[in-house]
Structure 1
Amino acid sequence: MMKLMRIMITLMLLSLAAISSIASATNYTLWINGRGGGGVVGDYNSFTYWGPSSTAAGVNKKAVNWDGYNSIASENSKIRDALDCFCTGSNWCYVATHSAGDLMLGYTLANYGGSTRTKKNAVANSSGQCGNSDGTTQVGWNIKWVRTASGAGGGSELSDVGSWAVSEPLVKDLKTTTARAMYNHNETRNVWFYMYAGAKGTVYSGILPGQDDEAVAYHSTGGVAGSAGQSLCNPSDWLCNDLTLGTAANEGGSVKWSYHSVSFRDDAEAYNHYANSNWQGIISVVRAAMVSNAT
C-alpha cells in the first residue's frame, strides 16, 4: 500500500510540474525594423520606428531594434539576442519584419538557426540580453512563422544605382546581387515567411522593375528566387509577368524561395513602403495580420 501511495504521489508531482511548465510558456510578437532604425537598441519596448507603442501589434509585442545603418553581419547579434531572450525554452515567437529586417532575419536563420542556443528567461538588461533560465540548451529558436512587410531579402535597385546614400554599409548589402548571394535564402529552418508586397510606387521608383512600393520591387517583396531582380506585376498590368499568390510559380516561370509564400499582393496599388511613425503603408497590413493571428 505504501509503495502504491509513493507511486501515486510521484505521478501527481510530475503532473503538477508539467502543468506549471505549460502555464509558464509565453508567446511573443517580435518586430524587426529595416533601414534607418530609430528605436533604442536594446530596449524591446521602444517602437519609435513603427509608431505609437500603445497600438496593438500582436501578443506581448517586442521591438527588436538595430541601427538600420551598419552591415547585416555587424548588427546581427542584436537579432540573435532577442531570439534567445523570447524564443527559447517554453516560449515561442511570431515575427514581423520590414524591408531590410527581412534580409536580417533570413541571414540569421540561415547562418545561426542550426546553432546551439542557451535557454533564456525573457528578462532583458539594458543591452537587450537576457539571463539563463535553467542552464539547458536547444538547437535554434522557437518561431511559429514570419510575416514580412516589403521584404528586402532580394535587395533593391535603389541601392544598385546609388539612389540611397552609398556610404552606408547597409546600402552595400542591399544591392540586389549582394543581398541574393549573402546567404542561402532557401534555408529558413522550416519557418514560413509570409510576404506582403506593396505597389504604391512613384515616378522616381521607375528605377525599380515591375510593381513596387517606392523602395522595393515585387521580385524581392514577393520572395522570388534568382541571382538578380526581375520585373513582376499585378494581373492588371499587361506589360510584365504576374506575381502569384501563395507558393506557386509566377507567370513566366520564376519561383519563390523555399518556405516563402505571398499572402498579400497590392492589386489596388494602395500601400507604399513607409510607416511614417504611425504603422502606415504596407506595415499596416502586416500589423492587422499580427493582431488577428499572433495570439
Structure 2
Amino acid sequence: MKKLFGMVLAAATMLAGTEAAAARYTLWIHGRNSGTTQPGNYNDFSYWGPASAQAGVNKKAVNWDGRQRIGTQNERIRDALDCFCTGSNQCYIAAHSAGNLQIGYALSLYGGSTRQVKNASPNASGVCGNVSGGATQKGWNILWVGVASGAAGGSELADIGEWATSDALVTDLKTTNARAMYNHNETRGKAFYMFAAAKGTAYSFVLPGQDDEAVAYHSTGGVSGSAGSSQCNPGDWFCGATLNMLTQPSSDGRAKWANHSLVLRDDREAYNHYAGGNWGGIIAPLRQYMADYAY
C-alpha cells in the first residue's frame, strides 16, 4: 500500500510540475525595416517602442531581416514558434505590415508539419533546444493572431516602384505576388483579428480606397482576391465599396479570407501605418488589445 501511495504521489507531483512549467507568450512579428533589429534577439523591441510597454503576457520580439524576402527569412519566425509555442506552451501572435505575410506564410505552408517540441530557452541565434525524449507535435499551439495594418494583400506602392530600393522584400509586397505567395485561407483554424488604419495622406492617390500611407484597406482588412480593390469607410461616396466589420463581406460582395475578422476600422481616420518609435499609429490599438486580452 505504501509503495502504491508513493507511486501515485510521484505521478501527481510530476503532473503538477508539468502544469507549472506551462506558459503563454506573446510574439511580436515586425514588418519591413532597414535591417536595424537583431534577428534571434527576442528582447529587441526597437522596431516597436520602449520594451517596458505592456504588450501581452511574456512578450517576445520576433526579429528578422526586414529587407529580405519572406521565404528566406521565414525560418526566423518558425524558430520562434518552435521555441515558445510547442509542448505545454501556448502563444498569442501580434504582427505588423509584412509581419502579416510572415505568420500567414508560416501557418499555411508549415502549420501542418511535424515540429520538435522545444524548451523555450533560446541560444544567441534565437534557436531553442529539444526537450528530453525528443517529443514532436503537429504545428504550433497558437491561440489567435492580431494584425495591425497587415500587408498580406500587398501594397500598390510596391507595384509602381515607389519603394524603389535594393530591398528584395519589395518584390514580395507587390499585390499580385503577396496574394499568390501562399493560400491565405489556410490559417490552420487560427483566427486573425485585423486592425485597419485610414490616416492616409502622401500616397492616397496611388493606394485604392482608404489607406494608412503604406497599405490600403483591401489588404489591412483581409479582403480576398488575386488583386487589390477599392475599400472604404461607410459614407464615402467616392469609393468602390464599404469595408464591413468582423467576417462580413464588403458591400461589393468581396469576401474576407477564411478566419479573418476586422475588429478595428479607422472610421475617424486617426491612425497611420507607423510605430514612430513609441508603439504609435495603428500599432497603438493593437498593443492595447494584446495587453487586455493576451494573458
Does the pair score TM above 0.5?
yes
Query: Is the 1:27–1:91 contact (alpha carbons within 8 Å) kept by the matching residues of 2?
Result: yes
Q: Which runs of 5+ in 2 are unaligned?
A: none
- Indicate the residue corresponding to 2:24 in structure 1: 27
- Indicate the residue corresponding to 2:219 in structure 1: 220
Matches within 5 A, 1:130-169: 130-134=128-132, 135-169=134-168
Matches within 5 A, 1:42-81: 42-81=40-79
Query: Is the 1:27–1:92 contact (alpha carbons within 8 Å) kept by the matching residues of 2?
Result: yes
Matches within 5 A, 1:182-221: 182-221=181-220
- Indicate the residue corresponding to 1:271 in structure 2: 271
Query: Is the 2:194–2:221 contact (alpha carbons within 8 Å) kept by the matching residues of 1?
Result: yes
Does residue 114 of the first structure (1) align with residue 107 of the second (2)? no
Aligned partners of 2:139, 2:86: CA distance in 1, in Å?
Answer: 8
State percent identity of aligned pairs. Answer: 61
Which amino acid counterpart does residue 247 of structure 1 have in structure 2? T
- Indicate the residue corresponding to 2:10 in structure 1: 13
- Indicate the residue corresponding to 1:248 in structure 2: 248
- Tell me the CA shift for residue 166 of structure 1: 4.5
Query: Is the 2:203–2:214 contact (alpha carbons within 8 Å) kept by the matching residues of 1?
Result: no
Deviations, residues 1-31 of structure 1 (Å, cap 9, x unaligned): x3xx444433332222222111110100000
Matches within 5 A, 1:64-103: 64-103=62-101
Q: Which runs of 5+ in 1 are unaligned?
A: none
Aligned partners of 1:125, 1:100: CA distance in 2, in Å?
Answer: 25
Query: Is the 1:159–1:166 contact (alpha carbons within 8 Å) kept by the matching residues of 2?
Result: no
Aligned partners of 1:138, 1:73: CA distance in 2, in Å?
Answer: 23
Which amino acid counterpart does residue 268 of structure 2 have in structure 1? A
SS, match of residue 203 in structure 2: helix
Aligned partners of 1:57, 1:82: CA distance in 2, in Å?
Answer: 17
TM-score by length of 1: 0.97
Aligned partners of 1:38, 1:288: CA distance in 2, in Å?
Answer: 25
Aligned partners of 1:131, 1:69: CA distance in 2, in Å?
Answer: 28
- Tell me the CA shift for residue 169 of structure 1: 1.0
More displaced stretch, 269-278 vs 36-45 = 36-45
* RMSD (CA atoms): 1.1
Aligned partners of 2:3, 2:229: CA distance in 1, in Å?
Answer: 69
More displaced stretch, 7-16 vs 190-199 = 7-16
- Tell me the CA shift for residue 60 of structure 1: 0.6
Query: Is the 1:200–1:269 contact (alpha carbons within 8 Å) kept by the matching residues of 2?
Result: yes
Aligned partners of 2:294, 2:222: CA distance in 1, in Å?
Answer: 22
Does residue 171 of the first structure (1) align with residue 189 of the second (2)? no
Count, aligned residues? 292
- Indicate the residue corresponding to 2:292 in structure 1: 292
TM-score by length of 2: 0.97
